[in-house]
């Protein structure tokens, strides 16, 4: 039984009419000890089916060790299910956990932006983001039913597209309770920068980049 309803698929196909160049969804999964691995895998395959410009590469974290290293999947202790959205380049766009609920819209928007090589940031914010010359891991803790969360995830992903030093990572808090506890996540969205500085709430893009600059 499909995860996406027929009317959902139609709506997504409408959105995918905007796709220009090919997009790859690189997905890391495992067979056991993973609550949403099989649903996430199924979801991404269903999404890829809706456009011939999207292809999926599927890897197993236990057996495809070189790929895990190549994409530095273990940089986030969450590990699986992990999803990368890229074109000929890996921008550092990551999802850990099932991108269901509101976060599904983030996936669709990321796919459109990556396909169009389009960084949707205003000029002054883009300039600040591109000035960052140190590595930055932006972790955004979310829950799938949080309507404010996709804004924070999308901002982190746009920043990742704009600067090779930046990784934008969505972490679905409910699936990784220990990691969430480690970073005292009790309200979402919660943004953690380089595993240290953090703030809660979906800040507008100008404030978001200022928080990053503060943390560096």
Residue 46 backbone dihedrals phi, psi, to 5 degrees? -65, -40
Task: Rule CB under 8 A: choose which of 50, 166, 188, 192 binds another protein.
Answer: 188
CA nearest neighbour of 101 among 187, 14, 173: 173
Residue 97 backbone dihedrals phi, psi, to 5 degrees? 105, 175
Asked if residue 41 binds another protein (CB under 8 A), the reply is no
Closer CB to another protein, 68 or 188, in the complex: 188
Please state, in angstroms and as integers, the Cα–Cα distance from residue 100 to each residue in 15, 29, 201, following that order: 17, 16, 19
- Taking CB under 8 A as the binding criterion, the range among 25-33, 53-61, 115-123, 129-137 that sits at the site for another protein is 115-123
Site size with another protein, rule: CB under 8 A: 37
- Taking CB under 8 A as the binding criterion, the range among 53-61, 62-70, 107-115, 208-216 that sits at the site for another protein is 107-115
Residue 10, Cβ density class (10 Å: 0-12 exposed, 13-18 middle, ≥19 buried) = exposed
DSSP 203: -
Between residue 4 and residue 23, which ones bind another protein under the rule CB under 8 A? 4, 8, 11-12, 15
Asked if residue 125 binds another protein (CB under 8 A), the reply is yes
Task: Rule CB under 8 A: choose which of 181, 187, 213, 216 binds another protein.
Answer: 187
From the CB of 195, what's the least distance to another protein, in Å? 20
Asked if residue 124 binds another protein (CB under 8 A), the reply is yes
DSSP string computed for 123-163: HHHHHHHHT--S-EEEEEEE-TT-TTHHHHHHHHHHHHHH-
Closer CB to another protein, 1 or 32, in the complex: 1
Asked if residue 181 binds another protein (CB under 8 A), the reply is no
d(CA 154, CA 172): 14
Asked if residue 34 binds another protein (CB under 8 A), the reply is no
Task: Please give the helix or strand (H or E) that residue 15 lies within, else none.
Answer: helix 6-16
| Phi-psi label, residue 122: left if phi above 0, alpha if psi -120 to 50, beta otherwise | beta
Task: Rule CB under 8 A: choose which of 55, 62, 69, 186 binds another protein.
Answer: 186
Closer CB to another protein, 39 or 164, in the complex: 39
Binding residues vs another protein (CB under 8 A)? 3-4, 8, 11-12, 15, 36, 39, 43, 98, 100-102, 104-105, 108-109, 112, 120, 122-125, 143-144, 147-148, 151, 174, 186-188, 200, 202, 204-206
């Amino acid at each position: 039984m499909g995860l996406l309803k027929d009317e959902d698929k139609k709506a997504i196909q409408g959105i995918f009419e905007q796709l220009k160049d090919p997009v790859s969804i690189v997905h890391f999964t495992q067979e056991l000890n993973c609550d949403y691995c099989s649903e996430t895998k199924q979801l991404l395959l269903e999404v890829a089916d809706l456009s011939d410009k999207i292809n999926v590469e599927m890897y197993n974290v236990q057996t495809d060790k070189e790929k895990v290293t190549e994409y530095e999947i273990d940089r986030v202790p969450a590990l699986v299910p992990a999803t990368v959205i890229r074109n000929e380049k890996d921008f550092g766009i990551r999802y850990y956990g099932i991108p269901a609920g509101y976060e599904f819209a983030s996936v669709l928007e990321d796919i459109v932006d990556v396909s169009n090589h389009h960084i949707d940031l205003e000029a002054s914010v883009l300039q600040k983001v591109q000035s960052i010359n140190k590595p930055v891991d932006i972790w955004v803790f979310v829950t799938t039913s949080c309507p404010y969360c996709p804004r924070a995830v999308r901002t982190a992903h746009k920043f990742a597209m704009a600067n090779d030093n930046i990784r934008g990572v969505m972490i679905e808090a409910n699936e990784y309770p220990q990691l969430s506890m480690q970073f005292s996540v009790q309200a979402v969205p919660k943004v953690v920068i380089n595993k240290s500085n953090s703030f809660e709430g979906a800040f507008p893009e100008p404030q978001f980049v200022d928080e990053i600059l503060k943390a560096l």
